[in-house]
Amino acid sequence: MTTLKFTCMQCGTCCYEITEQPGSKRIPLYPEEVTKLISLSEKRGYNFQVIEDLVFPDIKNKKILVVTYKIILNNQNERCPFYQTKSGCSIHNEKPYACQAYPLSLIRIDAFNFKISIDPLCNFIIDNYDQLLNVDLDNLKIIFKDEFPKAEKFYRKNKRLQLKIRELEYEGKIEIPRELHIKDFNRYLNQWEREEIIVR
């Protein structure tokens, strides 16, 4: 059994731009989280903008179903607008699911399935890479004692969303193509209205 325990180094790396895709933060935000963060940023006078992240085209209703957004980084330091240089995250009690679970994250297995994983860009993970390389689930729960239940909460939320989409498909209310040419997808993205998929 491992003796390793996750201790955040307070380096702030996870609140900065750490994706290969410059210009947006990787953490997924659910629509209701976006609403909450917009309201908070308006009260604080922050520049907070998001772009769509996970979306599905619904060819039955000619709509784009929006499951998650991500933060656009447009400030000088390319950091989340809620990050304070001296004190770190300024919205501890309002943190999105993804931030609560970090450095655990959900990785996509396919369009509809995810699993709990470790984000390799966290500095604690980098420093302890060898010990974490082949870690099993039991040890993962020990190392990330506080974060694992939050990752499970995040996973369950994600699962409920995927189930809702499948239920809507099963009931014939929406139709998501399993194969789609990129040109058609881009055309739909440009032309169709949005509908957010929300579960509590």
Binding ligand SF4 by CB under 6 A: which of 2, 4, 13, 141?
A: 13
Q: Which is nearer to ligand SF4, 56 or 82 (CB)?
A: 82
Name which of 63 and 141 has its Cβ closer to ligand SF4: 141
Measured from the CB atom, is 14 or 106 closer to ligand SF4? 14
Return the number of the residue (65 or 158) whose C-beta is nearest ligand SF4: 158
Closest CB 15 distance from ligand SF4, rounded Å: 3
Question: Residue 156 contacts by C-beta under 8 Å, 6 or more apart in sequence?
Answer: none
* Number of residues near ligand SF4 (by CB under 6 A): 22
Cβ atoms 10, 123 nearer than 8 A = no
Cis peptide before 149 (omega within 30 of 0): no
Give one DSSP letter per residue of 72-133, joined into a string. Answer: E--STT-B-TTEETTTEES-GGG--HHHHHTTEEEEEEETTEEEEEE-TTSHHHHHTHHHHT
Query: Site residues (CB under 6 A) for ligand SF4?
Result: 8-15, 27, 80, 82-83, 89, 91, 95-96, 99, 102-103, 122-124
